Structure 1
Amino acid sequence: MSDTYRPTGLAELRDALVDSKGERLAVAGGGSAADWGGAPEHDAVLDTTGMSGLISYNPTDMTVAVQAGMPFATLQETLAENAQWVALDPARAATVGGLVATADAGPVRHTYGTSRDSVIGVTVVLADGTVARSGGYVIKNVAGYDLAKLFHGSLGTLGVLAEVILRLHPRPAATATLAVPCDAATAFDLGGTLVHGGLEPVALEWSDGVLLARFDGTAGGVEDRLRRARALAGADATEAAADAWDAVADLVRGTDGDTVVRLGTAPDRTASLAALVGREASAHAVDAAMASSPYAGAHTVRLRGATAAAHAAVVTALRGEYPAATICRWADGLRDELPAWGEPPPAVAVLRAVKRSFDPDDRLCPGRFAPWF
């Protein structure tokens, strides 16, 4: 059994990285993304969940600073007391630092983007114990290297997030969702009609054959936009049940025995991706479901049933078109069937150079991006 370091603050985190010199570390948070990408080879675990405190919160300035190990759900509950929120809705239970490290986001990415758009400052500790800060409480502060964006999606391989400063938004007074059964091509066209018609849906998600369009705002404004959206969408459109978005989250998370793949495309490629998933799933007798934010070009494919070899065949076909697809949940035996990542992206030389600069001894999560580096 490997040792575990569980610091409770910045100084202890720095000491843990210095004291563990020579050890390979797997950086862990809430554990909901532990299977993303490659499996890290490690001698010890650095558990960030002990760093879960609220550092400062100024509702007037609409900013909050937290330790990176704070559960994101806990932060949202705290902010709700002042009718505020961080404009992210990930499907999984994660820490704040984990959301940055995985570049995770949910359907409201359509309007608010991902964590890189919400984070305005970070404090990180590098593998040799160096403490580095970037950004601050002023949203337009861009002095120095933007470490927040560099660490966004780094999966713990460049350094350990210790503290995160985020911008906030007011919580809407009301919300409602329109549900329209349709195929992917129709979803893309109808989504465009809703967006360009001035209805301002905060989220557009095509999931398992249904387009969901969410509207936030005042009670009267939401009611009016929902009515106009139904008129544009046609007779099949209905107001969705309150748990409609929970079903999307369940699909994105998957469950034991599933394979879950995330990938990005140009927005107008949603229909062709759906067709590819359908063909390959049928060819290999795999049950496939898909959730897409079409106008963000962000997609999740869930595979269920059949064998690990069948899942591998579908993933390989997806990688043929989209090499950077991330496997976030692995069916039993799938790791024996294919590597963690597909063909390296054109910028892989830059990625390797950044890794060497920040972690020259490859101590942090080695193997997470194998075979790229």
Structure 2
Amino acid sequence: MTAADPTRESTAAEALAATGVTLRDAGPDDDVAGVKPRWVALPESTEEIAAVLRVASAHGLAVVPVGGGTKLHWGRPPERCDLLIDTCCLNEVLEHASGDLVVRVQAGVTMGTLAQTLARGGQELALDVPDPDATVGGTLATAIAGPRRLRYGTARDLLIGATIVLADGTVAKSGGKVVKNVAGYDLGKLFTGSYGTLGVIAEATFRLHPLPADRRWVTATYPISREYVDEHGERRFVNDFPVDPLQVIGPVATSAAEPSAIEIDWPEVLFGPFTVAVLVEGSAAEDRARAVQELLSAHGAQAGVSTGPPPWWGRPPGEEILLEVRVPPGEIGTAMAEIGSAATADIRARGSAATAVLHVALPADVAPERAERFVTDMRDGVEAVGGRVFVVTAPEEIARRVDRWGRVGALGLMRRVKERFDPERVMAPGRFVGGI
């Protein structure tokens, strides 16, 4: 449906109003990657989400789910967007079975609220989401995972059940106490990372962990450049990693210290040093941290131990132009070398050293042609070792120049899944990989 068809718009508005769900006109803060919807629906239950989606399907409305809105600028702009389904009113912790280390929550609960609720029972959901205002639904839809993915896994690993509303209004459940399932699919895992293109996550059930008794962070900084004197007697620098990142990270990752996270911060990709930070948790954290300190100091750095994280811990290096680089764990040094060799501007990188997932931020004022060249050059090198480069978010002019997702081997399967769950392309059309 388009705004140029006032009769159909009026009919759709009447049908939405007839559901009894709160409805408002969209405002300037409701844009989805630059695309403005017509309305915002605020359902208060799974049944109300289903009612809204039945109307949207019947009237050809394109729908985008939204939680806290903290990641609406991520991913591709939808081909069209008539209606936002805002889950802010689905904000209850429905069940906390502390003895079973399980929690069931509605999708609109913020991660900060959930953390506070669980902490009162001495437990946590170990996802380390950087923004406490992000919702459970949004965290799952974008598959966010923080530094402790090394020990606890990602959102997909910690999710053990979900209630989903499909594009036609069908309510489906998987995991836990299943009422209606979709044969052959683990819905929770399938919907995690789907950017709202398959349906709306209404509820989620997670596996929890006890809060650690103690925590220690160990940090050390290493050079990536080497100074030399050229044939004219002038001082020069070469970006050749005199300390191999893998040689630093490998012994720590496999040590008896059992780290929960190993992160890298590289604030100045052009010749700047990189910092490795390691988190150890639980019993004897102090002693285990000292063992890590010795391992990090073996490469010539002065390693320190603290009871709090470094200020950059768990935060993306930027927001306006952000890339995600994934390589096999043994190729973290290759990924950093490719980032460094492609860099021609003030670029920052940060991420998980042990699981080899790095985020790279370009300056907001970078020229579009320079950004395009950087992505292309880096992608060529990273894909050669089995990795991927994904453009998380970028201004429109840059986004038009680059392939956001790069090579995707499972694209055919993903398109068949989209056809199975949303044949009429109601849910966030075009927002995901391959225009799904």
TM-score normalised over the length of structure 1: 0.90
2:137 counterpart residue number: 97
Structure 1 residues 173, 354: closer, same or farther in 2, change over 3 A? same
The whole-number CA distance in structure 2 between the counterparts of 1:336 and 1:352 is 22
Matches within 5 A, 1:293-372: 293-304=352-363, 305-320=365-380, 321-322=382-383, 324-331=388-395, 333-343=397-407, 345-369=408-432, 371-372=434-435
Matches within 5 A, 1:8-157: 8-21=44-57, 22-40=60-78, 41-93=80-132, 94-136=134-176, 145-157=185-197
- Kept in 2, the 8 Å contact 1:91–1:253? The answer is no
Matches within 5 A, 1:222-301: 222-234=285-297, 236-240=302-306, 242-244=308-310, 246-250=311-315, 252=316, 254-255=318-319, 258-282=320-344, 286-301=345-360
The whole-number CA distance in structure 2 between the counterparts of 1:137 and 1:214 is 36
Structure 1 residues 195, 275: closer, same or farther in 2, change over 3 A? closer
* Larger Rg over CA atoms: 2
The whole-number CA distance in structure 1 between the counterparts of 2:172 and 2:396 is 39
The whole-number CA distance in structure 2 between the counterparts of 1:4 and 1:117 is 31
Structure 1 residues 370, 80: closer, same or farther in 2, change over 3 A? closer
The whole-number CA distance in structure 1 between the counterparts of 2:244 and 2:306 is 18
- Kept in 1, the 8 Å contact 2:122–2:210? The answer is yes
Deviations 1:189-219 (A, max 9, x none): 222212322110111011111010001113x
Q: Which moved more, 1:190-199 or 1:63-72?
A: 190-199
| Counterpart check, 1:168 vs 2:208 | yes
The whole-number CA distance in structure 2 between the counterparts of 1:64 and 1:39 is 33
Equivalent AA in structure 2 for residue 364 of structure 1: M
**Residue aligned with 1:60, SS:** helix
- Kept in 1, the 8 Å contact 2:317–2:360? The answer is no
1:158 counterpart residue number: 198
The whole-number CA distance in structure 2 between the counterparts of 1:318 and 1:47 is 37
Q: Which moved more, 1:234-243 or 1:39-48?
A: 234-243
- Kept in 1, the 8 Å contact 2:317–2:350? The answer is no
**Residue aligned with 1:4, SS:** strand
Equivalent AA in structure 2 for residue 17 of structure 1: L
1:5 counterpart residue number: 41
| Counterpart check, 1:211 vs 2:276 | yes
The whole-number CA distance in structure 2 between the counterparts of 1:168 and 1:132 is 23
The share of aligned pairs that are identical, in percent, is 34
TM-score normalised over the length of structure 2: 0.78
- Kept in 2, the 8 Å contact 1:63–1:137? The answer is no
Kindly indicate whether structure 1 or structure 2 has the higher relative contact order, using CA contacts under 8 Å at least 6 residues apart: 1
- Kept in 1, the 8 Å contact 2:50–2:170? The answer is yes
Equivalent AA in structure 1 for residue 312 of structure 2: A
Equivalent AA in structure 2 for residue 84 of structure 1: Q
**Residue aligned with 2:362, SS:** strand
**Residue aligned with 1:172, SS:** coil
Structure 1 residues 314, 241: closer, same or farther in 2, change over 3 A? farther
The whole-number CA distance in structure 2 between the counterparts of 1:267 and 1:92 is 26
The whole-number CA distance in structure 1 between the counterparts of 2:255 and 2:82 is 56
- Kept in 2, the 8 Å contact 1:33–1:328? The answer is no
Q: How many residues are aligned here?
A: 359
**Residue aligned with 1:317, SS:** helix
Structure 2: tracts of 5 or more residues without a match: 1-25, 27-37, 225-240, 267-273
The whole-number CA distance in structure 2 between the counterparts of 1:137 and 1:295 is 35
The whole-number CA distance in structure 2 between the counterparts of 1:151 and 1:77 is 26
- Kept in 1, the 8 Å contact 2:317–2:359? The answer is no
Q: Which moved more, 1:265-274 or 1:80-89?
A: 265-274
Displacement, 1:318? 2.9
Structure 1 residues 196, 230: closer, same or farther in 2, change over 3 A? same
Q: CA RMSD in A?
A: 2.1
**Residue aligned with 1:310, SS:** helix
Equivalent AA in structure 2 for residue 319 of structure 1: R
Q: Which moved more, 1:34-43 or 1:313-322?
A: 313-322
Structure 1 residues 259, 248: closer, same or farther in 2, change over 3 A? farther
Displacement, 1:338? 2.7
